[in-house]
């Protein structure tokens, strides 16, 4: 049963901006019941929902031999990559 709260409250979510716009569009032919699960996810993530575009590079990594916490993102910085821990 869905408790209505995220299991990982500090989690960050990535979704394509077009998807967020599609599910948020109240003028579409979708019914409220069809949109409800997506709108609930959008609401729960709030500011932690990161809309991305087609050219976004997202790589989530979990490893044991990385600086604590070992869960984070690898981001492009110019010609190199940098580790950004989540949390």
Alpha helices in the chain (DSSP H): 17-24, 32-45
Give the pLDDT of the chain (87 residues) as one tens digit per residue: 356 777 788 888 888 899 999 999 988 889 989 998 889 888 988 898 988 888 777 666 666 676 666 677 778 888 888 877 776
- Quote the tokens at residue 36: 């409800």
Quick count: other Cβ atoms within 10 Å of Cβ 15?
A: 16
Q: How far is C-alpha 30 from the geometric centre of its chain's CA atoms?
A: 23
Q: Which sequence spans correspond to the domains of the chain? A: 12-54, 57-87
């Amino acid at each position: 049963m869905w408790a209505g709260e995220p299991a990982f409250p500090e989690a960050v979510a990535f979704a394509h901006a077009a998807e967020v716009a599609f599910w948020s569009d109240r003028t579409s032919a979708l019914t409220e019941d069809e949109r409800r699960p997506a709108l609930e996810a959008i609401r729960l993530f709030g500011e932690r929902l990161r809309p991305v575009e087609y050219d976004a590079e997202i790589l989530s990594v979990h490893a044991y031999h990385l600086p604590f916490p070992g869960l984070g993102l690898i981001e492009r910085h110019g010609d190199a990559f940098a580790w950004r821990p989540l949390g």
